[in-house]
Amino acid sequence: MAVLEKKTSLRENRELYRKDYYSWALKTADLVRQGRFAEIDPEVLGEEIEDMGKSEKREFTNLLSQSFSHLIKVAYLLEKYPDNKNRWRKDAEIFLEDAMDTLRENPGLKGELPKIVEDSWKRARGLVFQAFDDFTKRGDLDRAGIPAACPWAPEAVLAGNILPQDPEGGSKIRVSGLG
């Protein structure tokens, strides 16, 4: 005799979501695979799927911000901290490569690229402000010549050619971009 699996009510599904997110996620994934959509709270599932997309956007923005913050250091703080040049360049390259990987996996983000680039630049300025005691007020970033707006067009970021010259060979470091 076959064992029938107990049906989950919408109320039970909502309750599980509130009390134990992990168990809710596993249970809901199982219900989706079985095609038991009537037992799933569509509002909650829709919110969670939307949040997954937002998470990818946050990851891309964070990686781009990290790359930009290191590019700011190379372009505007190198005179004061010359020993950090290679590390900052490498970090900028690695974060940009990771950002491009995330964008390749989520090409729908390209439509939001102008806003993401500006948000990432703003965050990068904040990271630099936070990391250096040289800056006591945000206005100090402006006085150091660090632009308030991103100096690169989204297309240049997509192409991956925003990195500074390689000090060894004189050529630009090239990131496999999407442009």
Q: Residue 68: count other Cβ atoms within 10 Å of its Cβ.
A: 28
What SS3 class is residue 101? helix
In the chain, how many domains are there? 2
d(CA 17, CA 65): 33
Whether 23 and 76 map to the same domain: the answer is no
The answer to whether the pTM exceeds 0.75 is: yes
Residue 176 in domain: no
Residue 3 is predicted with a pLDDT of: 43
Q: Are residues 62 and 148 in the same domain?
A: yes
Q: Does one domain contain both 22 and 82?
A: no
**How many C-beta atoms surround the C-beta of residue 99 within 10 A?**
26
Domain extent for 122: 54-159
Residue 88, classified by CB atoms within 10 Å of its CB into exposed (0-12), middle (13-18) or buried (19+), is: buried
Q: Tell me, yes or no, whether 19 and 70 share the same domain.
A: no
Instruction: Kindly state whether residue 169 falls inside one of the protein's structural domains.
Output: no
- Whether residue 138 is contained in a domain is answered as yes
Task: List, for the chain, all residue ranges whose pLDDT scores fall below the cut of 70.
Answer: 1-6, 166-179
The answer to whether residues 82 and 149 belong to one domain is yes
Query: What is the pLDDT at residue 10?
Result: 82
> What is the pLDDT at residue 6?
63
